Amino acid sequence: MKLGLSLGLIALCSLFACAGDDGGEAFGEHDVEGTVQDEFTSRGISGAKVTFVSDTLDRAETTSEQDGRFVLHVELPECVRFGTLEAARAGYADSAKASVYFDGSALRLELKLRPKN
């Protein structure tokens, strides 16, 4: 329970930090690239919904291509530096959430989906 409370406080502090300027907020653009793959075969999965949610609850979505690749364009206030990414598709269990940090490094992730029986 402490972890959930701590993450909530971090998100709340981030929200106030973003809201604390004079309204002339700058936005940053980021591209998150990767593939959605079958956990057992490592084959790309087409048509998977890839969703990003920032620590201030900003959202962005895209769909994976025929080979499982995706590019997700994310536009966020400059003060937002963290979020999570996950994938979902019918017939598969949702992927684990992957942490995304906008620290200037290239963002490339593999999201694995496990087929449902």
pLDDT, tens digit, 9 for 90 and up, residues 28-56: 788 899 999 999 999 999 999 999 998 88
Percent of residues in the chain assigned helix, strand, coil, to nearest 5: 15, 45, 40
pTM of whole model > 0.85?
no
pLDDT at position 30, please? 82
pLDDT at position 19, please? 52
Q: Which of 9-18, 20-29, 70-79 has the lowest mean pLDDT?
A: 9-18
Q: Which residue has the higher pLDDT, 113 or 82?
A: 113
